Structure 1
């Protein structure tokens, strides 16, 4: 009897242990966190990078904003700060050992829930350039408001933050920690222990972020804008379509994207539409395939970039299946249309070659300004004379074709000219 009781109690205890084990394990691992490595200038590339970080983070994900930046543009810092606050993101600034968060980067640092610094790191020096009174006042008030949000009623720390703008004050890690402006953290593991989190991913700036940073430089974006406008003018004053206008529009769109005047979605859509236009040109007027190949490349870049900027959580298996099916269907239809147009183009060339230089009979009198009718290669055609009047019944030769109109000369006249 005692043996059976002991077995029953053991089974009950084992069941309870199995039930609570997962929760204990979960509590030990802590909340999930991602590290956003902001090791770049604060420009359009940094804004694109931050949008990508936000897209990959779920609502309850903690973000460790690892900063190593000399700063950049006030407008971009303003936008990043607004996105942090408006979306109520739980983020913590970490300036690792030897790193720096100055100017616009210092402003972003103040937007997070707390600042952590490693040995040898610095923060501050946020005097705006140009240092016009209105600009200084605005930036100082922005720093003061962020410091009030971060430090509450601590007037000393608020004044320190404001002095970074008005006086260019800079704090070392030791000074910031002693004053209570920041806390010490030498490595990621320190932050995991302090905050009770578990870092599951580190997001670093990619090639596209660097490219956007490059085209966001005023000298580069203005150059792209100027060259794009020039190419459009060249297209306007050049006989026939040469493709300069397409290249010009793409450069202008690229410049506007670098200036942060159009959204990434509009940029991706423009790339894909430009690709479709180039493919249509190639199908309508087959040549060496330059337009067609360029169109395919632009379509691929546009679609790939649209997928790149879409939050991963939205890219489910059904979405990928729809994208794959759409690409296959578009490719199949495009191939059929290309072959059909190619066949029609060959037929049109073949008919022109048969008619050109052919000899027929004028069924009516033909004049230079008044059309007549000629019978050539078994059909009646509208025709004009290229020289003088041609009586009905005369032999004529086709010298030029303009659509469905033929321009002919009298064979006897030509033979007399040769004699």
Structure 2
């Protein structure tokens, strides 16, 4: 009886282990890709692909609706897709109904084994843009992206000519057009139908979306956001010098640090950083002068720095310049407000110095030792030696501080009414 019992135990353990092993090869990793192609999206794909490889997933399904983004991050994502393929894991794309596989996202879709599109969706256009770049740089980038698009189409048996048109002529195809010209593998009205077509329906799914960390990376990998953070940080620190609150310095320091880290991550333009540094110098000048003109100049130079911070960065699609106009209006409005704020602080400081004997000028005191013409007064809780210009003031009467000489206050009797 012992041997059969041991054999039975061994069989139970073997059977209990088998589903866990087989489950690893039947998991579908689903990437919800409803984001701009940027550093956060690249981090998302890296995590999802690593999980798929480690758990020997059956496939990776990208549920796509993306307007495109940065070419460097797109290339990283394509490398992760190829890494999955090399590990024997196919990668599929489903562009949701009315969704986009536009610009940089079109290259990602074309890199996958199969593409299914929903009604109303589009793929392309795919023409790259070099922000602030020369025509030569633009030509080189476009040539490289054309080569990439053609190689992707050829690898998966798609229409190379139709794929090239997306790059050369900024062409976008509707789902039906893309299917008709042989750019995609099929049409599906919903995700369930797409899963059936891909043969992955009914398998366990593990979903991946951008984490808070990925979203943070997306924010600071935007050159416009980085420039704004740098400029905002410098303005807050400068304002705190004039009117110490500690809180503004802390917030300004955090904003400045985040902006600089983001600029480092994206390889920001040196010219943009230089202009932002000039903007900081103008802020220091504003603290010295207090007339507001230097602050306005600082913000305008900072705005130019923000625009140029992304110079040379390759993107697809072309950035919308509407955001720069909105930022310009907001910064000018902020500059006017800050200039008025600083001007009012300087007027207050000149009228009411913060420390020392100067701060007592204009204050009211009470005579504690008769002034004839000198004596003592109490003002702001302290006893001071004081003298009038000849008049006699009795103890208990009020006087106004009009100046000082040495350690003595010069006062006059406060007139009633």
TM-score, normalised by the number of residues in structure 1 = 0.48
With a CA cutoff of 8 Å and minimum separation of 6, indicate the structure with the bigger relative contact order: 2
Larger Cα-atom Rg: 1
TM-score, normalised by the number of residues in structure 2 = 0.48
